[in-house]
Amino acid sequence: MGRPRASPLRRILVSATTINFGQLPALQLRAPDGAEATITLYGAHVVSWKAVTTAGGPAQERLFLSSLSALDGQKAIRGGVPVIFPQFAERGTGMRHGFARVATWRVLDQGEADGAAFAVLALNQGDLPQQLAAAWPYAFELLLRVAVRGAQLDMSLDVRNTGTQTFPFAAALHTYHLVEDVEAVRIDGVQAETLAITDKLDHVFERIQGAIAFDTGADKVTLEQTGFNDAVVWNPGAADAAALSDMEDEEYRRFVCIEPALLGDAAARPQQLEPGGIWRGTYRAVVQAG
Ligand SMILES: O=P(O)(O)OC[C@H]1O[C@H](O)[C@H](O)[C@@H](O)[C@@H]1O
Protein backbone atom coordinates (compact mmCIF):
# COMPACT_ATOMS: atom_id res chain seq x y z
CA MET A 1 0.00 0.00 0.00
CA GLY A 2 1.47 3.33 -1.02
CA ARG A 3 0.84 6.54 0.81
CA PRO A 4 -2.56 8.07 0.07
CA ARG A 5 -2.31 10.81 -2.52
CA ALA A 6 -3.01 14.39 -1.50
CA SER A 7 -6.62 15.18 -2.29
CA PRO A 8 -7.37 18.02 -4.75
CA LEU A 9 -8.75 19.99 -1.78
CA ARG A 10 -5.46 19.73 0.06
CA ARG A 11 -3.55 21.04 -2.95
CA ILE A 12 -5.94 23.98 -3.16
CA LEU A 13 -5.34 24.86 0.47
CA VAL A 14 -1.59 24.70 0.05
CA SER A 15 -1.34 26.88 -3.06
CA ALA A 16 -3.65 29.78 -2.06
CA THR A 17 -4.48 31.39 1.25
CA THR A 18 -6.71 34.33 2.09
CA ILE A 19 -5.03 37.25 3.81
CA ASN A 20 -5.61 40.94 4.42
CA PHE A 21 -3.48 43.27 2.34
CA GLY A 22 -3.83 46.64 4.02
CA GLN A 23 -7.56 46.62 4.65
CA LEU A 24 -8.28 44.55 1.55
CA PRO A 25 -9.07 40.83 1.43
CA ALA A 26 -6.55 39.17 -0.84
CA LEU A 27 -5.45 35.80 -2.14
CA GLN A 28 -1.87 34.78 -1.70
CA LEU A 29 -0.66 32.24 -4.25
CA ARG A 30 2.41 30.13 -3.67
CA ALA A 31 3.76 27.71 -6.26
CA PRO A 32 5.69 24.58 -5.20
CA ASP A 33 8.91 26.22 -6.43
CA GLY A 34 8.36 29.25 -4.16
CA ALA A 35 7.03 31.78 -6.71
CA GLU A 36 4.30 33.95 -5.18
CA ALA A 37 1.59 36.42 -6.07
CA THR A 38 -0.87 38.41 -4.00
CA ILE A 39 -4.19 39.49 -5.54
CA THR A 40 -6.66 41.79 -3.82
CA LEU A 41 -10.33 41.11 -4.57
CA TYR A 42 -10.68 44.87 -4.93
CA GLY A 43 -9.77 45.33 -8.57
CA ALA A 44 -8.52 41.72 -9.00
CA HIS A 45 -5.32 43.60 -8.51
CA VAL A 46 -1.98 41.75 -8.47
CA VAL A 47 -0.19 43.79 -5.79
CA SER A 48 2.86 41.54 -5.51
CA TRP A 49 4.62 39.06 -7.77
CA LYS A 50 7.69 37.32 -6.42
CA ALA A 51 9.70 35.41 -9.00
CA VAL A 52 12.20 32.61 -8.42
CA THR A 53 14.92 32.88 -11.06
CA THR A 54 17.27 30.16 -9.79
CA ALA A 55 16.01 26.80 -8.54
CA GLY A 56 15.91 26.82 -4.75
CA GLY A 57 16.75 30.54 -4.71
CA PRO A 58 14.75 33.29 -3.02
CA ALA A 59 11.50 34.67 -4.41
CA GLN A 60 12.06 38.32 -5.29
CA GLU A 61 9.55 41.11 -5.74
CA ARG A 62 9.08 42.28 -9.35
CA LEU A 63 6.27 44.81 -8.96
CA PHE A 64 6.30 48.35 -7.66
CA LEU A 65 3.69 49.38 -5.11
CA SER A 66 3.59 52.97 -3.94
CA SER A 67 4.26 53.49 -0.24
CA LEU A 68 1.36 55.98 -0.28
CA SER A 69 -1.14 53.79 -2.14
CA ALA A 70 -4.67 53.58 -0.78
CA LEU A 71 -5.33 50.01 0.40
CA ASP A 72 -8.80 50.57 1.79
CA GLY A 73 -11.08 50.16 -1.22
CA GLN A 74 -11.77 53.90 -1.45
CA LYS A 75 -9.38 54.63 -4.29
CA ALA A 76 -7.57 52.63 -7.00
CA ILE A 77 -4.32 50.98 -5.89
CA ARG A 78 -1.14 52.73 -7.13
CA GLY A 79 1.20 50.01 -8.37
CA GLY A 80 1.00 46.29 -9.09
CA VAL A 81 -1.19 45.37 -12.05
CA PRO A 82 -4.39 47.42 -12.29
CA VAL A 83 -6.98 45.82 -14.58
CA ILE A 84 -8.26 48.49 -16.94
CA PHE A 85 -11.78 48.00 -18.38
CA PRO A 86 -13.95 49.20 -20.17
CA GLN A 87 -12.17 52.52 -20.81
CA PHE A 88 -8.49 53.40 -21.03
CA ALA A 89 -7.46 56.66 -19.29
CA GLU A 90 -9.68 59.47 -20.58
CA ARG A 91 -10.36 57.93 -23.99
CA GLY A 92 -14.13 58.01 -23.55
CA THR A 93 -16.85 59.60 -21.47
CA GLY A 94 -16.80 57.06 -18.63
CA MET A 95 -14.65 56.64 -15.53
CA ARG A 96 -10.96 57.26 -15.98
CA HIS A 97 -9.41 53.82 -16.66
CA GLY A 98 -12.83 52.21 -16.17
CA PHE A 99 -14.45 50.54 -13.18
CA ALA A 100 -12.73 47.13 -13.07
CA ARG A 101 -9.89 48.42 -10.88
CA VAL A 102 -12.29 49.87 -8.28
CA ALA A 103 -14.85 47.03 -8.22
CA THR A 104 -14.75 44.01 -5.92
CA TRP A 105 -14.32 40.76 -7.83
CA ARG A 106 -15.27 37.19 -6.86
CA VAL A 107 -12.89 34.24 -6.63
CA LEU A 108 -14.11 31.57 -9.06
CA ASP A 109 -11.30 29.06 -8.79
CA GLN A 110 -7.88 28.61 -7.27
CA GLY A 111 -5.36 25.80 -7.04
CA GLU A 112 -2.33 24.35 -8.68
CA ALA A 113 -1.83 23.31 -12.29
CA ASP A 114 1.35 22.37 -14.17
CA GLY A 115 3.50 23.38 -11.22
CA ALA A 116 1.94 26.85 -11.06
CA ALA A 117 -0.30 28.33 -8.39
CA PHE A 118 -3.29 30.00 -10.01
CA ALA A 119 -6.48 31.88 -9.28
CA VAL A 120 -9.42 32.93 -11.44
CA LEU A 121 -11.43 36.00 -10.47
CA ALA A 122 -14.68 37.16 -12.01
CA LEU A 123 -16.67 40.36 -12.30
CA ASN A 124 -20.04 40.96 -13.91
CA GLN A 125 -22.53 43.80 -13.97
CA GLY A 126 -24.36 42.34 -10.95
CA ASP A 127 -21.21 42.85 -8.85
CA LEU A 128 -21.09 46.59 -9.53
CA PRO A 129 -22.53 49.22 -7.22
CA GLN A 130 -25.70 50.59 -8.81
CA GLN A 131 -24.12 53.88 -9.83
CA LEU A 132 -21.33 52.17 -11.79
CA ALA A 133 -23.69 49.65 -13.39
CA ALA A 134 -26.03 52.45 -14.49
CA ALA A 135 -23.15 54.35 -16.08
CA TRP A 136 -22.20 51.37 -18.27
CA PRO A 137 -25.49 49.60 -18.97
CA TYR A 138 -24.26 46.39 -20.59
CA ALA A 139 -24.28 42.77 -19.49
CA PHE A 140 -20.74 41.44 -19.31
CA GLU A 141 -18.47 39.06 -17.53
CA LEU A 142 -14.75 39.48 -16.96
CA LEU A 143 -12.52 36.58 -16.01
CA LEU A 144 -8.98 37.24 -14.87
CA ARG A 145 -6.65 34.27 -14.49
CA VAL A 146 -3.33 34.76 -12.70
CA ALA A 147 -0.69 32.02 -12.46
CA VAL A 148 2.86 32.04 -11.08
CA ARG A 149 5.64 29.53 -11.35
CA GLY A 150 9.41 30.04 -11.18
CA ALA A 151 10.36 33.23 -12.97
CA GLN A 152 7.05 33.47 -14.83
CA LEU A 153 3.80 35.37 -14.37
CA ASP A 154 0.88 34.49 -16.64
CA MET A 155 -2.29 36.51 -16.81
CA SER A 156 -5.29 36.26 -19.09
CA LEU A 157 -8.31 38.50 -19.29
CA ASP A 158 -11.54 37.28 -20.88
CA VAL A 159 -14.26 39.77 -21.73
CA ARG A 160 -17.67 38.22 -22.44
CA ASN A 161 -20.75 39.93 -23.75
CA THR A 162 -23.58 38.16 -21.90
CA GLY A 163 -26.27 40.62 -23.03
CA THR A 164 -28.20 41.46 -26.16
CA GLN A 165 -26.42 44.66 -27.20
CA THR A 166 -23.00 45.02 -28.79
CA PHE A 167 -20.65 47.04 -26.56
CA PRO A 168 -17.41 48.96 -27.16
CA PHE A 169 -14.51 48.45 -24.77
CA ALA A 170 -10.83 48.95 -24.12
CA ALA A 171 -8.70 46.82 -21.79
CA ALA A 172 -5.20 46.82 -20.32
CA LEU A 173 -3.05 45.17 -17.66
CA HIS A 174 -1.32 48.28 -16.37
CA THR A 175 1.83 46.62 -14.98
CA TYR A 176 4.13 48.67 -12.72
CA HIS A 177 7.51 46.92 -13.07
CA LEU A 178 9.86 47.49 -10.15
CA VAL A 179 13.26 48.89 -11.18
CA GLU A 180 16.29 50.28 -9.36
CA ASP A 181 16.39 53.46 -11.38
CA VAL A 182 14.11 54.28 -14.29
CA GLU A 183 16.95 55.98 -16.15
CA ALA A 184 18.75 52.63 -16.51
CA VAL A 185 15.72 51.01 -18.15
CA ARG A 186 15.90 49.95 -21.81
CA ILE A 187 12.96 48.55 -23.74
CA ASP A 188 13.18 46.70 -27.05
CA GLY A 189 10.25 45.57 -29.16
CA VAL A 190 7.91 48.57 -28.90
CA GLN A 191 9.54 50.63 -31.66
CA ALA A 192 12.41 50.25 -34.14
CA GLU A 193 15.02 51.67 -31.75
CA THR A 194 15.67 50.78 -28.12
CA LEU A 195 13.56 52.98 -25.86
CA ALA A 196 15.16 54.74 -22.89
CA ILE A 197 13.25 56.87 -20.39
CA THR A 198 14.91 60.17 -19.69
CA ASP A 199 11.90 62.17 -18.49
CA LYS A 200 8.13 61.89 -18.33
CA LEU A 201 6.91 59.39 -20.92
CA ASP A 202 3.33 58.46 -21.77
CA HIS A 203 3.10 56.79 -25.13
CA VAL A 204 0.94 54.24 -26.92
CA PHE A 205 2.90 51.87 -29.14
CA GLU A 206 0.45 50.36 -31.58
CA ARG A 207 0.48 46.96 -33.24
CA ILE A 208 3.08 45.24 -31.10
CA GLN A 209 4.66 42.39 -33.04
CA GLY A 210 6.47 39.73 -31.06
CA ALA A 211 7.97 39.88 -27.59
CA ILE A 212 9.08 42.97 -25.70
CA ALA A 213 12.49 42.68 -24.05
CA PHE A 214 12.85 44.93 -21.06
CA ASP A 215 16.17 45.52 -19.30
CA THR A 216 15.63 46.82 -15.77
CA GLY A 217 19.27 47.85 -15.49
CA ALA A 218 19.85 44.86 -13.18
CA ASP A 219 18.25 42.02 -15.15
CA LYS A 220 16.09 41.26 -18.16
CA VAL A 221 12.40 40.50 -18.48
CA THR A 222 10.59 39.19 -21.55
CA LEU A 223 6.99 40.31 -22.03
CA GLU A 224 4.66 38.54 -24.43
CA GLN A 225 1.08 39.44 -25.18
CA THR A 226 -1.70 38.15 -27.42
CA GLY A 227 -5.07 39.77 -28.05
CA PHE A 228 -3.71 43.02 -26.62
CA ASN A 229 -2.60 44.78 -29.81
CA ASP A 230 -0.86 47.72 -28.21
CA ALA A 231 1.55 48.54 -25.39
CA VAL A 232 1.48 51.71 -23.32
CA VAL A 233 4.71 52.83 -21.69
CA TRP A 234 4.31 55.30 -18.85
CA ASN A 235 6.45 56.98 -16.26
CA PRO A 236 5.26 60.30 -14.79
CA GLY A 237 8.70 61.86 -14.38
CA ALA A 238 9.52 64.12 -11.44
CA ALA A 239 6.99 66.88 -12.12
CA ASP A 240 3.91 64.69 -12.65
CA ALA A 241 4.90 62.37 -9.80
CA ALA A 242 4.98 65.34 -7.43
CA ALA A 243 1.38 66.06 -8.36
CA LEU A 244 0.24 62.50 -7.57
CA SER A 245 -1.05 62.38 -4.00
CA ASP A 246 -0.61 58.60 -3.73
CA MET A 247 3.09 58.47 -4.58
CA GLU A 248 6.19 59.81 -2.84
CA ASP A 249 8.01 62.42 -4.94
CA GLU A 250 11.02 60.20 -5.64
CA GLU A 251 9.14 56.97 -6.21
CA TYR A 252 8.75 57.58 -9.93
CA ARG A 253 12.35 56.39 -10.24
CA ARG A 254 11.40 52.94 -8.98
CA PHE A 255 9.06 51.80 -11.75
CA VAL A 256 8.14 51.78 -15.38
CA CYS A 257 4.69 50.82 -16.59
CA ILE A 258 4.67 48.63 -19.69
CA GLU A 259 1.03 47.84 -20.27
CA PRO A 260 -0.41 45.29 -22.70
CA ALA A 261 -3.45 47.12 -24.00
CA LEU A 262 -6.32 46.89 -26.45
CA LEU A 263 -7.12 50.46 -27.32
CA GLY A 264 -8.86 50.07 -30.67
CA ASP A 265 -9.07 47.98 -33.78
CA ALA A 266 -6.76 48.36 -36.77
CA ALA A 267 -8.50 51.64 -37.64
CA ALA A 268 -8.24 52.90 -34.01
CA ARG A 269 -11.99 52.50 -33.46
CA PRO A 270 -12.91 51.01 -30.07
CA GLN A 271 -13.13 47.25 -30.03
CA GLN A 272 -16.75 46.06 -30.36
CA LEU A 273 -17.98 42.86 -28.76
CA GLU A 274 -21.20 41.39 -30.10
CA PRO A 275 -23.75 39.51 -27.94
CA GLY A 276 -22.32 36.11 -27.04
CA GLY A 277 -18.83 37.24 -28.07
CA ILE A 278 -15.66 36.57 -26.08
CA TRP A 279 -12.42 38.49 -26.37
CA ARG A 280 -9.28 37.14 -24.71
CA GLY A 281 -6.01 38.87 -23.98
CA THR A 282 -3.01 36.99 -22.60
CA TYR A 283 0.15 38.28 -21.01
CA ARG A 284 3.33 36.55 -19.90
CA ALA A 285 6.28 38.11 -18.07
CA VAL A 286 9.42 36.03 -17.61
CA VAL A 287 12.50 37.16 -15.70
CA GLN A 288 15.58 35.84 -17.48
CA ALA A 289 18.07 34.00 -15.30
CA GLY A 290 21.00 36.36 -14.67
O1 LIG B 1 -3.30 57.95 -12.39
P2 LIG B 1 -3.96 56.82 -13.12
O3 LIG B 1 -5.43 57.05 -13.35
O4 LIG B 1 -3.73 55.49 -12.44
O5 LIG B 1 -3.27 56.73 -14.54
C6 LIG B 1 -1.91 56.50 -14.66
C7 LIG B 1 -1.45 56.51 -16.12
O8 LIG B 1 -2.05 55.43 -16.79
C9 LIG B 1 -1.65 55.24 -18.16
O10 LIG B 1 -0.33 54.79 -18.24
C11 LIG B 1 -1.87 56.46 -18.99
O12 LIG B 1 -1.28 56.32 -20.27
C13 LIG B 1 -1.33 57.68 -18.30
O14 LIG B 1 -1.74 58.85 -19.02
C15 LIG B 1 -1.82 57.79 -16.86
O16 LIG B 1 -1.29 58.92 -16.24
Q: What is the pLDDT of residue 290?
A: 66
pLDDT tens for 191-223 read 999 999 999 999 999 999 999 999 999 999 999
The residue among 68, 29, 36 whose CA lies nearest residue 52 is 36
Whether the per-residue pLDDT at 26 is higher than 90: the answer is yes
Mean pLDDT over residues 38-42, rounded? Answer: 98
| Contact predicate 12/113, CB 8 Å | no
Higher local confidence (pLDDT), 224 or 269: 224
Q: What is the pLDDT of residue 221?
A: 98
- Predicted TM-score (pTM) of the model is 0.94
pLDDT tens for 48-93 read 999 999 999 999 999 999 999 999 999 999 999 999 999 999 999 9
CB of 252 sitting under 6 A from ligand 1: no
Q: What is the pLDDT of residue 15?
A: 77
Alpha carbon nearest to ligand 1 atom 12, residue: 202
**Residue 3 belongs to a domain:** no
CB of 46 sitting under 6 A from ligand 1: no
Q: Which of 174, 182, 262 to mutate to test the pocket of ligand 1 (most atoms within 8 A of CB)?
A: 174
Atom of ligand 1 nearest to the CA of 203: 12
Mean pLDDT over residues 253-267, rounded? Answer: 92
Distance CA(232)–CA(105), nearest Å, equals: 25
Distance CA(211)–CA(226), nearest Å, equals: 10
Alpha carbon nearest to ligand 1 atom 8, residue: 89
186: exposed, middle or buried (C-beta count within 10 Å: 0-12, 13-18, 19+)? Answer: middle
CB of 202 sitting under 6 A from ligand 1: yes
**Residue 181 belongs to a domain:** yes
Atom of ligand 1 nearest to the CA of 97: 3
Dihedral sign for Cα 18, 85, 139, 135, please: positive
Alpha carbon nearest to ligand 1 atom 5, residue: 89
By percentage, how much of the chain surpasses pLDDT 70?
94
DSSP state of 15: H
Whether the per-residue pLDDT at 286 is higher than 70: the answer is yes
The residue among 176, 156, 285 whose CA lies nearest residue 222 is 285
Whether the per-residue pLDDT at 7 is higher than 60: the answer is no
**Residue 201 belongs to a domain:** yes
CA 108 to chain centre: 18
Distance CA(175)–CA(200), nearest Å, equals: 17
Q: How many Å lie between the centroid of ligand 1 and the Cα of residue 232?
A: 10
Q: What is the pLDDT of residue 244?
A: 97
Q: Work out the angle at residue 237's Cα, subtended by the Cα atoms of residues 232 and 238, and round it to the nearest 5 degrees.
A: 160
Q: Which domain holds residue 93?
A: 8-287
The residue among 25, 225, 260, 23 whose CA lies nearest residue 121 is 25
Task: Report the number of distinct structural domains present in the chain.
Answer: 1
Whether the per-residue pLDDT at 5 is higher than 60: the answer is no
**Residue 129 belongs to a domain:** yes
Q: Any bridge partners for residue 64, and if so which?
A: none
Atom of ligand 1 nearest to the CA of 236: 16
pLDDT tens for 83-130 read 999 999 999 999 999 999 999 999 999 999 999 999 999 999 999 999
> Which residues have a catalytic role annotated?
174, 259
Q: Which of 69, 78, 97 to mutate to test the pocket of ligand 1 (most atoms within 8 A of CB)?
A: 97
Q: Which residues touch 30 (CB under 8 Å, ≥6 apart)?
A: 14, 15, 16, 17, 36, 117
Atom of ligand 1 nearest to the CA of 174: 10
Whether the per-residue pLDDT at 6 is higher than 80: the answer is no
CB of 88 sitting under 6 A from ligand 1: no
CB of 170 sitting under 6 A from ligand 1: no
CATH number at residue 74: 2.70.98.10
Q: How many Å lie between the centroid of ligand 1 and the Cα of residue 183?
A: 19
**Residue 2 belongs to a domain:** no
Distance CA(32)–CA(284), nearest Å, equals: 19
Mean pLDDT over residues 254-282, rounded? Answer: 93
